[in-house]
Amino acid sequence: MTVRLALVHGAPGGWKLSVLAAAKKRMEIILTKIVGQNRSSESEEMHKNMPNRLEFEIMAGLSFCAALSHRRKPWLVLETAGPCKSLRSRGSVIRAEIKFVNADEAKELIATEGYAVLDVRDKSQFERAHIKSCHHVPIYVENTDNDIGTIINRTLHNNFSGLFYGLSFTKPNDEFVQSVKSQFSPDSKLLIVCQEGLRSASAANKLEQAGFENISCMTSGLRSVKPGTFDSVGSTELQDAGKAGLVTVQGKISAVLGTVLVCAYLFIQFFPDQAEKILQMVPAS
């Protein structure tokens, strides 16, 4: 059963109640005791033989009253409320700590401690470049849903982020944890990588909650990896696998336009007469 201890407000001014001084104060105690199976509290011998599993969970709420009203008297109410569960020691759960490493430390984990590389990037980035002999389980997958909201969002995405940066329109992979569990045991040593470091941290947290104990995560992702650090497979370097869309040719376009403008400026400065004749040949709109 549950025993609740509460102090009703309204004590005379300056009175303060405590458990140790409760017997010295004027109060009325209403006590309802539920005793089962005809147990007598007066017999010490029977009290010793009472089952140890009969325990009480005490929830005590004490408040101090100061100069609220002289007309009211303080009441300390002690009551019981229903059966309660036996108190049991709660075993503390020790959770694994995710280890964050840089590229050089990650290479050392693979070479000396036998860590397996888990790449959680989307399919397009993985195909551009990935670490040799790594395992690919994307934490986000391409969203091909055809509901109205998804179609609108996908169209907006493809005309901006997808066009300029080559980013896929994705959604969370609901089968991510199960896919990893099908390939690795909870005590496996996993090095999780992505392109920028955000997805790998999220994936590491999910796997840690799922019971995986030896998890390391590469900070800043593969974009911080220097060429030649890992044996890679793909058409580009690991640090450039996240680049796609118009940004990949923006530098070249800017270089060409800049060269043309500089040449035109120099031509006008050194050959003004010829430049004027050329401009006169341009039809007026």
Q: Amino acid identity of 174?
A: D
Residue indicated by tokens 């100069």:
67
- Euclidean distance between CA atoms 158 and 152, whole angstroms: 10
CB atoms under 10 Å from CB of 258, counted, come to 10
- By three-state DSSP, how is residue 169 classified? coil
Q: Confirm whether 194 is a catalytic residue.
A: yes
On the CB side of 127, CA atoms within 13 Å amount to 5
Neighbours of 94 (CB within 10 A): 7
List all residues 6 or more positions away from 207 whose beta carbon is below 8 Å from its beta carbon. 177, 180, 190, 192, 215
Output the 3-class SS for 249-281. Answer: HHHHHHHHHHHHHHHHHHHHHHCHHHHHHHHHH
Sequence-ordered alpha helix ranges (H) in 113-167 = 123-128, 148-158, 161-165
CA–CA separation, 170 vs 122, rounded Å? Answer: 8
Q: In sequence order, which residues have a C-beta less than 8 Å from that of residue 233 and are 6 or more positions away?
A: 129, 130, 131, 132
Would you give the end-to-end CA distance of the chain in angstroms? 95
Which of the residues 84, 134, 194, 263 is marked catalytic? Answer: 194
Single-letter amino acid code for the residue at 34: I
Q: Which residues are marked as active site?
A: 194
